[in-house]
Amino acid sequence: MRSTLLFIASLIFVAQVAAQYQIPPGNMSPGEHTDQTGYSSTMVSGYTYRLGGVKYNHVYGIFDVVGGWLTQFNAGSIPDLWGKSGDNSDYFLFQGTNEIDGDEAIIVFDTVYFNNGSGNLMKISNTRMGEYDEYGDVSGGIIVGGKLYFNNGITTTDRHSPVEGSIVFVNSSFYDGGLSDAQHVDGFVSEVNYPRSDVDSADHGHGGEFTFPVGNGESVYPLKRQGVFVDGYYLLTVGWVDGDPGTTLDPTQGAINLTGSGFLAGGLKSIVPVGFWDWHYLDATEPNPSDPGYIGAEALTEDQTITVSIPNLDGILVGAAASDLRLAGYDIGNNEWIPLGTTGATGLTKGSLLSGVIPGGTTITAIAIGSIQNIILPATFNSFNVTAKACKALLEWETGMEQDNSHFVVERSVNGSDFESIGRVEAAGYSFSTKAYQFTDESPVEGTNYYRIRQVDFNNKSTSSDVKAVRISCGENQAVIKVYPNPARDQVHIQSGKELAQINLIAANGQTVLKYVPAQTQSGVYILPVYSVPNGIYILQVLNRDGTFDVIKLLKQ
């Protein structure tokens, strides 16, 4: 018994220091390459070049680059040679959450496939301030020289470093997929020009048209740019930001773009407080060295026609119609919102289009939905939080203002999509100050509960808050873990009453052969793919988010 406990303890220790497969630096030979088996992640510690047709299969969930993952893009020694797309390809094959991480690394792809499965997360965690050194790179988390295939669910970038963490598309490089609510970039996307002499100028600036596939992780709000964009080594970064533009920090400017009457020009009466597109254009060769978190904004040389897909405003706006809306841009030179167009939106429902033109020479730092009429939302949510209190759920929310606000309906779901009413809270009706509300769910279900607040005005129109989740566990035996089938062949189902942080599969020799970071699940059942694991007896170590762990013996056949 004592030896068994010591063996398990040693396996747990080994699992905490996961083995990484090291890709050696230097030139990689043409042909197909795959991560070696028996590891939990892959690391590039130096500078590795893929030249002349390298296909690389990434089979682990974490790809960690410390130095550089380079292609022909970086092979030049003078500027005229930088930015060349090669015939290399990368396939991310781990079925679950994938992460491309790095320590200010240069990560360049020609053609890259995010093949980690529909509904699964792809995290871009690397951030880099482009040094424009001998590698010719610009700021960004990853750089795409050819094409990116979104064969996954949501892709995230580091919102705290919007420019330095973005997905960068070079010249005419593009993407496939990524323009639906279930599949887009929750973060920032950039485009950049490398004015190579061997590339037709028509390919610069994506031939005059590029759509940024951005959103907030739940909804996609793409922005299309159309116009001449040939400025060499200039970086255009765009991302969607939730919140009132007048109170929400602009992540690339480090300031709030105020929306009061003194900051509205050209007939604008208001800015819709639902969110904005952060728009940032800069000379990629001259980052501000005094503050790595901020890069000065500049103006595009030529006019740019902008078309956005708006959030749902139907039944939300009071005192405005689709014809009253105008695409608005924040002119940082004059510190004011200006109308970018003279026509309204195609509708008020989600996905309706709104267009305008950014004049060449005008420095815009944000794009939002404006109106030539005063508009009021029946209620604006400042905050909404849910916490577990013993076996109950406490809901607390605040409104910043209320107009014609009759009451709130508290709704609950057990799967995150099908909601039912469980209570009603009377509203203030009319208020221009902060109002606080709360509601206690006395009988939530065991496990994960999803909540939202639906605001209802006196005309019976309504709008809903964001969805919040909380896990309720009231008994000692509610968090029993189940693993099936055991023995297993292709995959293992792990059912737990707790939220899992990580799953490790450990061989008898103590080596971690598989590390899996599970995505959030509504059913409490996590699926671990083991089809590539050799047959044998393993220890399945389940690390819970509350700091506890479970250990189960697993037979792979």
What are the pLDDT digits (tens) for 280-301?
Answer: 998 877 655 444 444 578 888 8
* Mean predicted confidence (pLDDT) in 106-133: 90
For residue 220, the 8-state DSSP code is B
Domain at 390, CATH number: 2.60.40.10
CB atoms within 10 A of CB 66: 14
What confidence category does residue 16 fall into, taking pLDDT thresholds of 50, 70 and 90? very low
Residues 116 and 207 in one domain: yes
The overall average pLDDT reported for the chain is: 84
What confidence category does residue 404 fall into, taking pLDDT thresholds of 50, 70 and 90? confident
357: β partners: 305
Residues 151 and 254 in one domain: no
What confidence category does residue 462 fall into, taking pLDDT thresholds of 50, 70 and 90? confident
Residues 228 and 247 in one domain: no
Domain presence at residue 260: yes
What confidence category does residue 480 fall into, taking pLDDT thresholds of 50, 70 and 90? low
Query: Can you read off the two tokens belonging to residue 131?
Result: 């040094």
Residues 35 and 90 in one domain: yes
Last residue of a domain, one of 184, 216, 242: 242
pLDDT for residue 521: 58
CA distance 115 to 122: 9
Residues 235 and 384 in one domain: no
**Phi/psi of residue 7, nearest 5 degrees:** -65, -45
Residues 86 and 214 in one domain: yes
The residue with greater pLDDT, 135 or 219, is 219
CA distance 556 to 230: 56
The residue with greater pLDDT, 175 or 206, is 175
Residues 238 and 336 in one domain: no
pLDDT for residue 477: 40
The contacts of residue 114 (CB under 8 Å, 6+ apart) are 92, 98, 122, 148, 149, 150, 151, 152, 155
Query: Can you read off the two tokens belonging to residue 261?
Result: 């009457």
- On whether the CB atoms of residues 168 and 138 are closer than 8 A, the answer is yes
Residues 238 and 300 in one domain: no
How far CA 418 is from CA of 180, 275, 422, in Å, comes to: 20, 26, 13
- On whether the CB atoms of residues 111 and 77 are closer than 8 A, the answer is no
CA distance 100 to 278: 24
Q: Give the structural domain span for 427.
A: 379-472
pLDDT for residue 371: 93
Three-class secondary structure of residue 78 per DSSP = coil
What confidence category does residue 326 fall into, taking pLDDT thresholds of 50, 70 and 90? very high
pLDDT for residue 469: 86
Domain at 496, CATH number: 2.60.40.1220
If you compute the radius of gyration of the chain from its CA atoms, what whole number of angstroms results? 26
pLDDT for residue 376: 64
Query: Can you read off the two tokens belonging to residue 336?
Result: 């004011």
Closest by CA position to 349, among listed 320, 309, 405: 309
**Phi/psi of residue 317, nearest 5 degrees:** -75, 140
pLDDT for residue 459: 73
Domain presence at residue 426: yes
- On whether the CB atoms of residues 502 and 61 are closer than 8 A, the answer is no
pLDDT for residue 78: 54
Last residue of a domain, one of 472, 499, 524: 472
Last residue of a domain, one of 359, 375, 391: 375
pLDDT for residue 315: 65
pLDDT tens per residue across span 215-240: 998 899 999 999 988 787 889 999 99
* Mean predicted confidence (pLDDT) in 480-498: 80
Residues 224 and 263 in one domain: no
Domain presence at residue 3: no
Domain presence at residue 486: yes
Residues 502 and 404 in one domain: no
State the total domains in the chain: 4
Residues 227 and 140 in one domain: yes
Query: Can you read off the two tokens belonging to residue 98?
Result: 């994938």
Task: Work out the burial of residue 31: count CB atoms within 10 Å of its CB; fewer than 13 is exposed, 13-18 middle, 19 or more buried.
Answer: exposed
What confidence category does residue 199 fall into, taking pLDDT thresholds of 50, 70 and 90? low
Sequence-distant contacts of 72-81: CB under 8 A, at least 24 apart: 72/110, 73/108, 73/110, 73/136, 73/143, 73/145, 73/170, 74/49, 74/106, 74/108, 74/135, 74/136, 74/137, 75/49, 75/51, 76/136, 77/134, 79/136, 80/196, 80/197, 81/136, 81/196
* Mean predicted confidence (pLDDT) in 382-389: 86
What confidence category does residue 455 fall into, taking pLDDT thresholds of 50, 70 and 90? confident
pLDDT for residue 138: 86
The contacts of residue 280 (CB under 8 Å, 6+ apart) are 162, 163, 236, 237, 238, 252, 253, 295, 297, 365
What confidence category does residue 340 fall into, taking pLDDT thresholds of 50, 70 and 90? very high
pLDDT for residue 114: 97
For the chain, count helices (H), then strands (E). 1, 45
Domain presence at residue 13: no
CA distance 151 to 442: 42
Closest by CA position to 59, among listed 107, 92, 96, 24: 92
What confidence category does residue 358 fall into, taking pLDDT thresholds of 50, 70 and 90? very high
Indicate whether 18 pLDDT > 70.
no
Domain presence at residue 282: yes
* Mean predicted confidence (pLDDT) in 336-351: 94
Domain presence at residue 500: yes
Residues 163 and 25 in one domain: yes
pLDDT tens per residue across span 241-268: 988 888 788 998 888 888 888 899 999 9
pLDDT tens per residue across span 526-547: 888 887 888 888 888 888 877 6
Domain presence at residue 1: no
The percentage of the chain sitting over the pLDDT mark of 90, rounded to a whole number, equals 44
Q: By mean pLDDT, which of 54-63, 78-87, 195-204, 364-373 is the weakest? A: 195-204
pLDDT for residue 290: 44
**Residue type (1 letter), 14:** V
What confidence category does residue 41 fall into, taking pLDDT thresholds of 50, 70 and 90? very high
